[in-house]
Chain A
């Protein structure tokens, strides 16, 4: 009849974790939207986005922790509820068993039929088990534990009294216990036991009611919290979106501005191209006419002209030719700036050798002592770099022409990683260092035309080409002590 109770596995009490008060709601940091505050506008977009996502993450974290704790409380309460329910059932079973045992033992006292003792014996046997279950189910509440202890001792007392009466009936017969049989030996204890069990049950029911209230409030709290969290995240996401949108708008504006500038630059470039085309075509025609008509005049009237007049004609002719040369040089210079750069690898050793070979034709057998060091391979435009060395080496040849023993040295050093410095050194006429800044300028010359020929465009071309390759040019020299021209070139390809 109490098999249901017996088969129920004993509950192992789980240390009840934090059933403390509900943690405080997350900090109500409402992010600002609309105009950016001053301290925020100083941040980069990455920092802003990071901060935004950080806030979202923190919000999610806080809400997750609080919700977890609330849910734990609810789960724990439901566990406690099921334990209380078990306890109440067990107490009911024990009560039934006690009543059955008491009435059974009274019948035995009257009739002497031992079959009536079964309930009493079963209870006495099972009592230790019941006690263990009770202790497992009652939990940590002191008041209930005291009640339980009292209950145990009362039950024990009851059973002892019954056992005593049974013993006397067995040994001394029905007469000895007749006065006990009808009222029962332990009616009073039984009442007390009933009372105590009632108390125990009441207390458990009270606790259960309190837990129901607590669970309900926890659940309400969690729902509110999740709602708040969702709202918070929406707001944070909104502001992150705003930040990104704000930045994208700014970027678009900058891109549009860049595009506009690019178009302007392209237009300016086109204009410049048209200009140099015009120079190329239109400026040369009158020069050709000056020279042509001077020649025709010399031919037609040459014999009737005196020497002075013929020299004048010659000067007109020479000047026209010189201006033609200047225009050609200027066009080359302008083309160097506009021309698309080829991207290949240039073996400077080979390049320098070719240039020297080409120059030898102009040397007219003049002996120059060349010293060529080991030169590297560099990325660049072969034709442009050839122009550079053509200019530098023909300069060196030109300015050593007056020396009895002209010497020209070409070499390379590596002073910075990823960059090579090439130099061209001669023992020529040199230059005054105070004019070094004029050296690489367009049409800048440090020598008179009757000393050394030239239009003054060579070094300007050198500088422009080297700049386009991502390098630098500079020079050292002293009057009558030669000059050294340096250029640096990156060893790695640069984005043009």
Chain B
């Protein structure tokens, strides 16, 4: 049931991105991950524009969103996704350092599918990212393509 559809990881910090990739590597799903370094890039990817103009269009299987990013922050990206009928079905997982109630509440209010606080401890971080990657990238059945155009 492995899909070829990519996983988008929005992470402005290259070290965090590397650690996340290292975690996913353990489960051999790292090659499906597209790393975006800010919110604007995520939107470029989703709308197939700018540097992603030539990519084969289609929604990713899941988007991991950091809250705090340059240019366009995670909340703004989340809002754009959930307000766009075509992007709306994409599962969005907030992956952030913030445990603030305000961020949690706002994310869920905007329609985030999950909210995960990055643990400081590497082992925990690895298992968290791995589980997320496996769950959303492998186990979870993504919405059918038809939903996008029908919606």
Contact = CB atoms under 8 A, between A and B. Distances in A.
A331 B99 contact: yes
B120 A281 contact: no
Contacts of A337: none
A287 B16 CA distance: 11
Nearest to A277: B100
Contacts, number: 60
B123 A284 contact: no
Nearest to B13: A285
A284 B118 contact: yes
Residue with the greatest number of chain B CB neighbours at <10 A, chosen from A277, A293, A317: A277
28 contacts: A277-B100, A280-B97, A280-B99, A280-B100, A281-B67, A281-B97, A284-B97, A285-B13, A287-B120, A288-B16, A289-B15, A289-B16, A291-B120, A291-B125, A292-B15, A292-B122, A292-B126, A293-B15, A293-B19, A294-B122, A295-B122, A295-B123, A296-B22, A321-B120, A324-B120, A324-B121, A328-B99, A331-B99
Interface in A150-195: none
Given A281-B68, A295-B123, A296-B22, A288 B118 contact: yes
Contact of B16 (A285, A291, A317, A328): A285
B146 to A, nearest CB: 39
Interface in A198-227: none
A295 B98 CA distance: 23
A331 to B, nearest CB: 7
Interface string B9-22: 00001011001001
A284 B100 contact: no
A287 B121 CA distance: 8
B98 A280 contact: yes
Contacts of A462: none
Interface string A357-399: 0000000000000000000000000000000000000000000
Interface string B81-104: 000000000000000111110000
Interface in A253-309: 277, 280-282, 284-285, 287-289, 291-296
B97 A285 contact: yes
A216 to B, nearest CB: 87
Nearest to A291: B122
A320 interface: yes
Nearest to A299: B22
A413 B98 CA distance: 42
Nearest to B23: A292
A294 B123 CA distance: 11
B121 A277 contact: no
Contact of A291 (B67, B99, B100, B121): B121
A292 B99 contact: no
A317 B122 CA distance: 9
Contacts of A289: 15-16, 19
B53 to A, nearest CB: 32
Residue with the greatest number of chain A CB neighbours at <10 A, chosen from B13, B98, B120: B120
